[in-house]
Amino acid sequence: MLRRIASLSVRTPSLSPAPLLTSFTNRLVESLSITPPPPLAFDAPAASSSSSPSTSSLSDDLFDSLWFAVPKSKISRSKKRIKNQRYKLKNKTHIHKDPVTGEWTERHRLPINWKFYLREDGYGPKNRGDKIDVEEEE
C-alpha cells in the first residue's frame, strides 16, 4: 500500500518528441503553478491535458499576457556615461594670453582685436616695441 501511494506522488518526466522550448516552458509552468501555454505551431500534439476546460480560457489569457510581458534590455548607467563622453566639448589646451592685446586667444590664431596689430597706415605689422592702447567695448 505504501509503495502505491509513493509511486502516485512522484511524477515521472514524459518522453515526448516536443522541442526544448516546450519542455522548458512546461517545467517553468509547473514551478510557477500556472497552466501551460497554448500549443505552438511546431509543437507535437499533446496526449493528455492536465488543466480543466473551464479554467483554461482564463489561464490562457493570463499566460498570454505573461508570455509577451518580457523585460527589454536596458543600457546600464556606466554604458550611458561612456556613450555621452564623445559628445562633450573637448578641453582646449592651446590657449594663451596675447602679449600685445592682453586677450586670451588660441595659439596661431589672431585675437578678436586683430586690427590693433596693423600699423596706422593699414599695411604690415606694428613694431614689437610699440605699445597698443586697447579700447574696451561696452
Cα–Cα distance for residue pair 126/116, rounded to 1 Å: 8
Q: Is the Cβ–Cβ distance between 98 and 116 less than 8 Å? A: no
User: 101: how many CB neighbours lie within 10 A of its CB?
Assistant: 17
What's residue 103's pLDDT? 82
User: Rounded CA gap, 115 and 129, in Å?
Assistant: 17
Q: Which residues contact 92 (CB under 8 A, 6 or more apart)?
A: 106
Q: pLDDT of 109-122, one tens digit each?
A: 877 877 777 777 76
pTM of the model: 0.26
> What would the pLDDT profile of 63-115 be if each residue is shown by its tens digit?
666 666 666 778 888 888 887 777 788 888 889 888 777 888 888 887 787 77
Task: Give the tens place of pLDDT for each residue, 5-28.
Answer: 544 544 555 555 446 667 777 777
Contact predicate 126/137, CB 8 Å:
no
